[in-house]
Amino acid sequence: MTTAGLARRPGGVRRLSRAVRGAALCGACLAGVAAAGAVVSSRATYPRPRQDAPGRPAAPPAPAGRIVVTVVLGPRGSVGTDALGPYEVFARSPAFLVYTVSPGRAASVLSGGLALVPEHSLEDVDAGLVPEPDVVVVPAVAGPAGKELAPLRDWISRRADRGAHILGVCAGSALLAAAGLLDGRRATSHWSNIASLRRKYPQVEWVRGQRYVIDGSITTTGGVTSGIFGALRLVGQLAGTAEAERVGRELAYPGWHLDTAGLPAQRAAPGDLSFALIAAFPWFRPTVGIGLVTGVGEIDAAAAFDIYAGNSHAARAIPIAAGSTVITRHGLQLLAQPAGPGAPRVGRLVVPGLRNASELDPGFAWWAADHGLDIELPQAGQADGEFSFDPLLRDLAAHADKATARSTAKNTEYPTAHLQLAGSAWPWRPTALAALTIAAAIGAGFLPAAARRHRP
Amino acid sequence: MTPISAPAPAPQREQSIRVPVLWGLAFGAIQAASPLALWWLDQATVQALLLALIAAVYIGFAVADGRPQVIAVESSIAGAFVVLAAAGVTGPAWLLVLGYAGHGLKDFWQERRHYVAGTRWWPPFCAAVDWLVAVVLAIEIIAGAGFHH
């Protein structure tokens, strides 16, 4: 029926108006809940760190002759594996001295809820209190183009002007582009960002399907774990191929070779629906305690938070340790909730990097037993020559579902062809919440009109 | 002239409630049996979906009413019932009994107070559905029926 026909029949117009109003209300309910869920997920990615964080650790004396690397941490949050992946790559080589810097003095939060105390501030470097960096690692940070990060962008530009190599990991390239450092250059980024970066920074030649792109002194990498490739490439360039091969072999990233830069170009696909559902309906997620122990590997720690929470949204992850701080294998100071009476309730306790429960602090083990928590060691079953993501993704598939494990691997640009994943096929919790929301939206949108029209 | 007494309103009101209540009982019986038709879903999931559906109806009435305070109150109440329904999908089935019984009370309150305008026959109809389903679910739980596959 045409609009003119409806206008001649007021009853038809009324019915059409009711239907449109019902559909709008239905859509508004659905969109409102999904938007609220997305906000909850987004805020949970970078939860606020504790306010009683200890002061910065004393800077160790800088041995002469080492190549100085600094890993920049954003004031509002950084992707954990983007930052700590390259940190561990460089720290594993005696040719490098690595430290973290951040604007201000507060603790830095990483994706998924991990937090650490940065070793130095930007001002310390400017004042010459620490060695001038030869390499600056820039991970994906929250709000890269915002006004708040202008001092950080200026600081990175100054380091580039002084001849430092810049390594932009994942969406760290957005910060470099906002600083103008990529103008007229080739660069890459996380696969999900490239389309928007092309629109926003057309003066940059954005490239898909590359682990890393080198243009002069600036290297940019694909998503999350691609930063390890970029860092190893720089180790090879600055400390020699043999050293890069040695560190690469130790890490055992599947399919890594020093000169391998290509990777399958990823795009949004129907399989990403599981991730969209989890992000839009985060309520009733399980809470996973990530047990941190002294000497934990930086990649192991970051991977646990990124896989269980930051890059999957499958759970809420809480760092728990014997004390309020933990020193990693290469000297980073991580913050944690002390295992004691004030520790938050968790449904599981997963300890990354540990192969034997007997290595756990006795007080921590007692606390877990007292709370009825099994100490789960995903990496106890890690085969020699396996990268630390493998057992964690298997554990995610077993405790969440395989679709979530695959979408998390895709988000972190980690290959899964070699992985045997077992578990539920689909995330039923967010699916059930979506169905409930749709039912409620239909109830709100259409039943009241029906109740007005008809008598029972 | 012989005075003609006005008809008493009470029987008319009883009659106006009786019809939706009877229809509510009929729909409630169908709803209580609906998991049999949706055999591939948990009974808890089916009943949670239906609880969310009926709980949200008052949002629509509140929007038609148009008063911001009514929209805010009814949206909050409906939200609470949807959260209860969501918890009932994987949690104890008694949550669903609580949800249906509680929503029946909300219908009863609406019928008495007419807080939202224009709900007409919906509150008595919905209360009958809610309380019948709550009773059936409670009996099933006590009898040991499974709510999850």
pLDDT tens figures, A275-310: 999 999 999 999 999 999 999 999 999 999 999 999
What does the H/E/C string look like for chain A? Answer: CCHHHHHHCHHHHHHHHHHHHHHHHHHHHHHHHHHHHHHHHHHHHCCCCCCCCCCCCCCCCCCCCCEEEEEECCCCCECHHHHHHHHHHHHCCCCEEEEEEECCCCCEEEHHHCEEECCEEHHHHHCCCCCCCCEEEECCECCCCCHHHHHHHHHHHHHHHCCCEEEECCCHHHHHHHCCCCCCCEECCCCCCHHHHHHHCCCCEECCCECEEEECCEEEECCCCHHHHHHHHHHHHHHCHHHHHHHHHHHCCCCCCCCCCECCCCCCCHHHHHHHHHHHCCCCCCEEEEEECCCCCHHHHHHHHHHHHHCCCCCEEEEEECCCEEECCCCCEEECEECCCCCCCCCEEECCCCCCHHHCCHHHHHHHHHCCCCEECHHHHCCCCCCCHHHHHHHHHHHCCHHHHHHHHHHCCCCCCCCCCCCCCCCHHHHHHHHHHHHHHHHHHCHHHHHHHCCC
Across residues A417-424, what is the average pLDDT?
94
CB B55 within 8 Å of CB B81: yes
Cβ–Cβ contact A421 with B under 8 A: no
Nearest CA in chain A to B71: A444
Task: Check CB contact under 8 Å for A439 and B53.
Answer: yes
Cβ–Cβ contact A452 with B under 8 A: yes
Sort strands A316-321 and A337-338 into parallel, antiparallel or unpaired: parallel
Which amino acid is present at A184?
G
Residues A73, A79, A83, A88, CA torsion sign: positive
Through-space distance between the first and last CA atoms of chain A, rounded to whole angstroms: 29
Residue A51: the pLDDT is: 61
Nearest CA in chain B to A433: B86
Residue B24 with chain A: CB contacts under 8 Å: 456
Q: Which of 11-40 (A) contact B at CB < 8 A?
A: 21-22, 25, 29
Supply the ipTM of this predicted assembly. 0.77
Please give the Cα distance from A380 to B13 (Å, whole number). Answer: 72
Nearest CA in chain A to B81: A440
Across residues A38-52, what is the average pLDDT?
82
Q: For helices A428-445 and B68-90, what crossing angle results, to 10°?
A: 150
Q: Which of 233-292 (A) contact B at CB < 8 A?
A: 283-284
Whether residue B11 is predicted with pLDDT greater than 80 in this model: the reply is no
Write the pLDDT tens digit of every residue in B40-58.
Answer: 888 999 999 999 999 999 9
Task: Check CB contact under 8 Å for A435 and B61.
Answer: no
Task: Check CB contact under 8 Å for A440 and B53.
Answer: yes
Residue A58: the pLDDT is: 63
Task: Check CB contact under 8 Å for A456 and B61.
Answer: no
Write the pLDDT tens digit of every residue in A197-209.
Answer: 999 999 999 999 9
Residue A426 with chain B: CB contacts under 8 Å: none
Task: Check CB contact under 8 Å for A448 and B19.
Answer: no
Q: Which of B30, B59, B83 to mutate to test the interface with A (most CBs of A within 10 A)?
A: B59
Nearest CA in chain A to B26: A456
Please give the Cα distance from A176 to B5 (Å, whole number). Answer: 88
- Percent of chain A whose predicted confidence (pLDDT) is above 70: 94
Task: Check CB contact under 8 Å for B23 and A456.
Answer: yes
Burial (CB count <10 Å: 0-12, 13-18, 19+), residue A102: buried
Nearest CA in chain B to A446: B60
User: Could you tell me how many CB contacts below 8 A there are between chain A and chain B?
Assistant: 89
Between these two residues, A56 and B143, which has the higher pLDDT value? B143
Catalytic positions of A, please?
A: 170
Residue A57: the pLDDT is: 63
Nearest CA in chain A to B78: A440
Whether residue A4 is predicted with pLDDT greater than 60 in this model: the reply is no
Across residues A370-384, what is the average pLDDT?
90
Write the pLDDT tens digit of every residue in A321-376.
Answer: 999 999 999 999 999 999 999 999 999 999 999 989 888 999 999 999 999 999 99
pTM: 0.88
Residue B13: the pLDDT is: 52
Measured between CB atoms, which of B48, B64, B89 is closest to A448? B64
The mean of the pLDDT values for chain A is 92
Which amino acid is present at A253?
Y
CA distance B60 to chain A (A): 4
Cβ–Cβ contact A439 with B under 8 A: yes
Both tokens of residue A192?
């999900």
Residue A437 with chain B: CB contacts under 8 Å: 52, 82
Measured between CB atoms, which of A283, A440, A442 is closest to B78? A440
Whether residue A49 is predicted with pLDDT greater than 80 in this model: the reply is no
Through-space distance between the first and last CA atoms of chain B, rounded to whole angstroms: 74
Residue A451 with chain B: CB contacts under 8 Å: 57, 61, 119-122
- Angle A455-B52-A314 (CA atoms, 0-180°, nearest 5)? 160
| Exposed e or buried b per residue across A346-371, where buried means at least 16 C-beta atoms within 10 angstroms of its C-beta | bebbbbbbbeeeeebeeebbebbeee
Task: Check CB contact under 8 Å for A452 and B120.
Answer: yes
Instruction: Look at the block and give the residue holding tokens 């190893």.
Output: A232
Across residues A394-402, what is the average pLDDT?
96
